[in-house]
């Protein structure tokens, strides 16, 4: 009985700590300025040039100061419109995922681990919008080192086998920080708040960043390549499809 009491107390303490951390997050908005430095830890795994890009391709507008705590996930949901990628005649796969971050002089040098994924988006009747769904494929873990302050486009390759996805459906891409930050970088947004497309999971489940009062949506996009014989989303679950690639 004594052990149970200690366990319950420990869980309560963890919940309180998590709640305090979440409530401490404050949206401080500053305009983005300066050139973007591209960071890519490796070449595209297939060796092919991307056919097009999907996700948030709007111009960079704002930096949300000290927002990224680390040990969390960011997700962007988008509609895979075939008209936006006429180079692909059939389906597509994600080649890499890019997220924009800004590091101040107090944030560097810094080394952190991260990975990206590509996933299905599911319709939520309660929210009346699409919501983060099951993963389709996940990259390896990468170690990122940023030595100088500035604005960065951090691109991580999708180096694992990924099913050929069908156009005409909603999907999502994620950037997951596996490391906590001692000094927090800024996340970058556009200037068009839409809602239900930019999501953050800091341990309490997925939250729409518009609920925090973001001035726009997170700047994240995927480079994609063409593929043949795409999987019809409405006929199969991605759990069944992923089993084909194990």
* Each residue's pLDDT expressed in tens, for the chain with a length of 246 residues: 333 333 333 333 333 334 444 556 899 999 998 999 999 886 555 555 678 999 999 999 999 999 999 999 999 999 999 999 999 999 999 999 999 999 999 999 999 999 999 999 999 999 999 999 999 999 999 999 999 999 999 999 998 888 999 999 999 999 999 999 999 999 999 999 999 999 999 988 999 999 999 999 999 999 999 999 998 765 444 444 444 333
Which two three-digit tokens encode residue 30?
């500053």
With respect to residue 17, please indicate whether it lies within any of the assigned structural domains.
no
Closest CA to 55 of 223, 191, 208: 223
Evaluate whether residue 146 is within a structural domain: yes
- Report yes or no on 104 lying in a domain: yes
| Structural domain includes residue 7 | no
What's the pTM value of the predicted model, to 2 decimals?
Answer: 0.85
In angstroms, the CA 127 to CA 135 distance is 20
Structural domain contains residue 112: yes
How many other CB atoms sit within 10 Å of the CB of residue 223?
21
Would residue 239 count as lying in a domain?
Answer: yes
Is 18 domain-assigned?
A: no
Q: Which domain holds residue 229?
A: 27-243
Total number of domains in the chain: 1
- Indicate whether 182 belongs to any domain: yes
């Amino acid at each position: 009985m004594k052990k149970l009491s200690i366990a319950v107390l420990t869980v309560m303490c963890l919940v309180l700590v998590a709640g305090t951390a979440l409530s401490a997050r404050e949206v401080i908005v500053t305009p983005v300025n300066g050139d973007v430095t591209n960071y890519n830890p490796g070449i595209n795994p297939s060796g092919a040039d991307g056919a097009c890009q999907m996700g948030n391709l709007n111009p960079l507008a704002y930096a949300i100061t000290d927002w990224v705590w680390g040990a969390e996930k960011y997700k962007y949901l988008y509609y895979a419109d075939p008209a936006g990628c006429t180079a692909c005649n059939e389906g597509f796969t994600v080649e890499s995922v890019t997220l924009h971050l800004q590091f101040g002089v107090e944030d560097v040098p810094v080394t952190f681990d991260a990975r990206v994924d590509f996933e299905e988006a599911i319709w939520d009747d309660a929210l009346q919008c699409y919501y983060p769904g099951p993963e389709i494929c996940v990259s390896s873990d990468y170690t990122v080192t940023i030595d100088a302050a500035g604005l960065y486009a951090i691109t991580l390759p999708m180096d694992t086998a990924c099913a050929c996805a069908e156009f005409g459906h909603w999907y999502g891409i994620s950037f997951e920080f596996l490391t906590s930050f001692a000094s927090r970088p800024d996340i970058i947004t556009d200037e068009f708040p839409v809602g239900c497309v930019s999501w953050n999971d800091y341990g309490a489940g997925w939250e729409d960043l518009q609920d925090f009062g973001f001035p726009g949506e997170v700047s994240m996009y995927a480079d994609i390549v063409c593929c043949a014989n795409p999987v019809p989303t409405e006929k199969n679950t991605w759990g069944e499809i992923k089993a084909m690639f194990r």
